[in-house]
Structure formats: structure tokens, C-alpha cells
Amino acid sequence: MGPGPAVARRVAPAARTVNIRGPSVATMEHELQVEATLSGPAPPGDLLATRLPVLAAESIQRSIGPRGSGQLTRWSVEGDKLSLTVESDGARPHQAVLALLRRLGEELGKSAHIGVRSFRAPLYRVRFSLAPPPKKEIHLPIPHTLTVDGETATLELTELSEEALRDNWMDRAVTLVQEKSKRQSYEGKEQYWALLKASPPREHPFRLDPTEEMLKRLWVRSGPTKGKWFLGPTAAHLLRTMERIARREVLEPLGFSEVVQPHHDSFDILLKTGHLEGLPGEFYYVTEPRTRDPAAWETFTDLVKITRHVPEAELAKLVSPPSAVSCYAQCPTIYWWLSGRTLATDSLPVRVYDRSAVSNRYESGGRHGLERVDEFHRIEPVYVGTPEQLVALREQLLERYTHVFDKILELEWRTAWVTPFYMQQSGGVGVEEGQERIKGTIDFEAYLPYRGPRETSEWLEFQNLSIVGEKYTKAFTIRTQKGELWSGCSGIGLERWLTAFLAQKGLDPDAWPAAFRRHVGTLPADIRFL
């Protein structure tokens, strides 16, 4: 073997430890200890001693700047191991430390042909305010200690990798702790709900559960898998009538065009919208076969032939871990479609809707009848435009919906401002402070007479309408030629429209409003089962 590179033959200087901060300086809010491995023993001479403090001061100045102050408080070197500690007040120090290590690597490379090979953080401690203080212990799934003193929390993360430092784990962990604490204070409290408008009360001679009645008439059959229904010709015709009404009376007059979107939502998309952290227990996950090779499936098929059972353990070996979810909400994939694009001013507001992806939700104990199912049909209009355009469009949508519910379906219904779905679906709580009457979600609810008196019974949310603001246009990098770009969506649940209508009007077409009957046309003849 030939001689190694020059750097490897350098004589390592004796271990050095330098404490920069005198005993008089009080401990700062944040402290980050880093241990870097150099590509060779640290250079002799005073290179580190002279350059490290300078580079640290410059990096701190650049990344913390006027947001706070910081200091390299300690460093030591032994062979190829360089340890340093940066403390700061105000802004957290990790960006400064990353910059410092980058610049140090550059300088050592030039002057001594040594690089910073890798680093890790044995300890990262930050102090932050936590109001309201948590009611009970908060857990994090990464090594840490959390202490709370009044409304001040101190979080220490230990053994952070280089990647975790670069990826901002500390900032995210702090946000998560604050979120968890806030959630504890909301727990058990009612969801935010403020009445917006109510239709006049109506007479309801029919007071039965429409699903029960449809079952009796064999219009529907509870499906072969959980929470799903088979709609026979009559029920299907009525569901499609609701869809036609929504398109003809609301969407087409307001200039919405149909899009057809894929049915699987990628994890990438749901990471951007926040769904994956908000609702992981409500998805149906999609798995793929590991292979289509029949030979790989032979044991499986043989076992099926012999046992007439599904060999679950064998199946588990043959499918991949989940890689997507079956459509939960339609708007995320519509945002993906627009992602990275710049919208021309004359295309605004973009108005599209999807009715092709069938929504799947794991409703668990909450299922009931046709109104709360695991698989439902929904039209989701999505709109993207300037704030003014979206506020105007909301008024137009409200006007058209009102027309449908008052004049065609003749429902008893009301609207209310509620916790925005995009906060709920990303694990948030409450309303958007100060914004709740511009941005936010309006729920549409229908009285279900079979559930009891209108004053005390639970009404059915049969659709909603939201203005989201910039959350999704930002997350998906959707831009306009100039100005702010907002988005929003509305969820028209067809099973909910149908049950709300049948619960109030009954199943006898003679009792249905004339305008609705016109949309229905001729009902298909019932199949007679003997």
C-alpha cells in the first residue's frame, strides 16, 4: 500500500478544551451541543482557536441576527473529534450551527485538506412558552426530556442525528408539544359551533328512519363489507337525482367544470395537507401485491383451493406495506393536479369539481344507516382565486344551495360556522382566531325528525363549504401572476342529501315536492323479490 493522504500522517495535537463563556454569563435559553467527526486529526497550530470563534460569530449573526443573540460557549478537540456548544436567546441555534460547520469544513478543506465528515447532537435543549400549561404528561416518540415550570417548558432532545438537525426536528417537536398541550385544554369541550342561518321550521308528517324504510322496501341492502351499502335501482336513481340537482342547479350555473381524478391518495399528498397526522385511524390503506408472478402466489392459491379460506399469513407475505390510501377527501388530489403551476389571471377563480372518486372512511363505531357509511359518494367542488373572488363565490354558492334546499328539496335546514375541516383533518382544534368569518368552514345541517324534537336532537351535517386561505396553495406551490391566491372546497355528500330528504319527506313520491319530482322523472320499476 502506498502512503496515505498527507492529512492522515499529521500528528494530532493534544486534546484542547476551551471555555469561552465566563462564569458570569447566565445560561441562555437554548443550548446545542454538537460532536463533529473530521476527516482527519484536527490541524496543528491555532487554526481552530482563531477561526472557530470568528466563524461562529458570523454564522450566529447571519442566522440569528436581530431575532436574538448567541454565543459559542465551549469547544474542544481531540484527534478527529470536535465538540462545540452554541447557546442562544430568542431564535434557536441549530441553523447557526449548521452554517458554522459548513463554513468550518470549507476553511479546513482549503487550508488543511480536512473536511467535516459527519456530526451529531448529543444534546439540544430549548426553552419555550407553553400556554396554557399542559394538564397531564406529554409524550414524544423520540429520546427527550420535557420539564414544565409554570408556562415555561424546557425540552431536551438527545442523540439527534445530522439529518434530524437539518430537518428541523427541534422546531417540529416544540410545535408538537404546544399542539398537544392546547389539545389537552380543548379535550372534552364541545366543538366550536355558531349558528349562521336557519330555514323556517316545516311540518314533518313522516317521522321514521329512512334507512329502515328503504331496507323494508328492499331498495338497499347492507353491503358485503363493513359500512357499505348496495343501492338497488330506485335508491340509485334517487342518489343520482341528488347528484344531477347539485350539478344543474349549483355547479353548472356558477361555471364549475368537471375533472376526473385518481382514486388513490398518495402519502406525499396527505403529508402536505396534514391529513396523515390528523386522521391516520380513519383511512382505508392501499397495499400492492409484491409481485404478479403466479409462481410466487402458488402456495396462496393452493391453500385457497384446499381450505376454501383466505390464508391470511401467506397473504400478508405477498402484499407490500400500505403505499397510499383510498380516497378520503377529493380536494387534496385536485391541489396536487395544480401543484407547481402558475395560474393565469384570466383563469381565476378556478372552479372544478370531482364526482368520480368514491370516498372511503373508517367510521368504526360511528356508522349509522345510509347517513354515516364507510363508502360514500360525494361531489367536491374546489375553487382557487383571489380572496375577494372566493368570498364572492361563497356568497353565490350559498345562494344556489339555499335555492336547492328551500325550493327543490324543501328541507328544514340551517348553517353554522364550525371548526374548519382543514384544522380538524390535520389534528387542529378550535377556530382560526380573528379569521373565522372570512376563512373557515360552514356546515349545513338538516333536521332528522326520527331522532326526536328539533331543539334537542342531533341534526345531520349533510354538506359543508370552506374557504381555506393560503394553506393549500402554499403547501402545493400553486401561484398566480400576481397577488394572494386562496383556495376552498365544498363537500356535497350525496348519501347525506338523500337521507336528509327522505327523513323529512318520506319514501312516498306523492308526498315529495313538485320541483324535486320533476328532477326525479320516472322512477325505475322496483324489482320484485319473491
Q: What H or E segment, with its residue span, contains residue 199?
A: none
CB of 380 to Zn ion, least distance (A): 6
CB under 5 to 8 A by kind: which of ligand ATP, Zn ion, none does 240 bind?
A: none
168 is catalytic: no
Under DSSP, the state recorded for 289 is B
212 — phi, psi (to 5°)?
A: -60, -45
Smallest Cα–Cα separation from 241: which of 511, 501, 506, 526?
Answer: 501
The interface with ligand ATP within residues 483-512 (CB under 6 A) comprises: 491, 493, 495-496
When asked if residue 354 is in the footprint of ligand ATP (CB under 6 A), the reply is no
Among 421, 422, 459, 472, contact with ligand ATP (rule: CB under 6 A): 421
DSSP 7: G
What nine digits make up the cell of 115?
Answer: 473536511
Build a one-symbol-per-residue string for 476-505: x at contacts with Zn ion by CB under 5 A, - elsewhere: -------------x----------------
- In this structure, the number of other CB atoms found within 10 A of the CB of residue 235 comes to 23
Among 10, 180, 183, 372, binds ligand ATP (CB under 6 A): 372
Length of the chain, please? 530
d(CA 276, CA 425): 8
- Count of chain residues binding ligand ATP (CB under 6 A): 15
| Distance between CA atoms of residues 472 and 478, nearest Å | 8
Closer residue to ligand ATP in complex, CB, 380/412: 380
C-beta of 246: minimal distance to Zn ion in Å? Answer: 15
Within the chain, what is the greatest distance between any pair of CA atoms? 99
Q: Is residue 461 involved in binding ligand ATP (CB under 6 A)?
A: yes
Q: Beta-carbon neighbour count of residue 165 at 10 Å?
A: 22
Task: Give Cα separations from 151 to 8, 147, 181, 187 (angstroms).
Answer: 51, 11, 11, 19
Residue 67 to residues 88, 166, 169: CA-CA distances in angstroms?
Answer: 10, 20, 20
Least distance in Å: CB of 342 to ligand ATP? 29
Whether 237 and 527 have beta carbons less than 8 Å apart is answered as no
What torsion, rounded to 10 degrees, do the Cα atoms 181, 184, 186, 191 define? Answer: 120
SS3 22: coil
Residues near 228 by beta carbon (within 8 Å), at least 6 away in sequence: 222, 373, 374, 375
For the question of residue 464 being annotated catalytic, the response is: yes
- Write out the three cell numbers for 493: 355528500
Least CB distance to Zn ion at residue 368 (A) = 23
Q: Between 324 and 363, how does the x/- string for binding to Zn ion read (CB under 5 A)? A: -----x-x--------------------------------
Q: Of residues 60-119, which lie at the interface with Zn ion (CB under 5 A)?
A: none
Smallest separation (angstroms) from ligand ATP to the CB of 448 = 12
Q: Which of 92, 103, 247, 361 is catalytic?
A: 361
DSSP state of 319: B
Choose the one of ligand ATP, Zn ion, none that binds residue 489, judging by a C-beta under 5 to 8 angstroms depending on kind.
Answer: Zn ion
The least distance separating ligand ATP from the CB of residue 367, rounded to whole angstroms, comes to 7
* Nearest CB to ligand ATP, comparing residues 232 and 420: 420
Q: Catalytic residue at 489? A: yes
Minimum distance of ligand ATP from residue 88's CB (angstroms): 42
Nearest in space to 468 (alpha carbons), one of 527, 509, 425: 425
Task: Name the residue nearer to ligand ATP (CB basis): 75 or 462.
Answer: 462
User: Of the two residues 86 and 448, which places its CB atom closer to ligand ATP in the complex?
Assistant: 448
Query: Of residues 144, 378, 471, 505, which one binds ligand ATP by CB under 6 A?
Result: 378
Nearer to ligand ATP, 42 or 373 (CB): 373
Confirm or reject binding of residue 464 to ligand ATP (CB under 6 A).
yes
Residue with Cβ nearer ligand ATP (156 or 363): 363
| Grid cell for residue 485 | 391566491
Catalytic residue among 380, 412, 432, 495: 380
What per-residue string of b and e applies to 247-257 under the rule 16 or more CB within 10 Å gives b? bebbbeebebe
Exactly one of 363, 406, 436, 470 binds ligand ATP (CB under 6 A); which one?
363
Contact 335, 485 (CB under 8 A): no
CA–CA separation, 498 and 35 (whole Å)? 64
C-beta of 246 vs 393, nearer to ligand ATP: 246
Known catalytic residue: 355? no
Active-site residue flag, 443: yes
Nearer to ligand ATP, 377 or 505 (CB): 377
Name the catalytic one among 29, 374, 410, 443.
Answer: 443
Residue nearest to ligand ATP (CB): 493
Q: Is the separation of the CB atoms in 155 and 126 below 8 Å?
A: yes
Find how far residue 160's CA is from the centre of its chain.
Answer: 26
Question: Are the CB atoms for 442 and 415 separated by under 8 Å?
Answer: yes
Which of ligand ATP, Zn ion, none binds 333 (CB below 5-8 Å, type-dependent)?
none
Q: What is the contact surface with Zn ion in residues (CB under 5 A)?
A: 329, 331, 489
Instruction: Give me the active site residues, please.
Output: 331, 361, 363, 372, 380, 443, 461, 464, 489, 496
Q: What is the contact surface with ligand ATP in residues (CB under 6 A)?
A: 361, 363, 372-373, 376, 378, 421, 461-464, 491, 493, 495-496
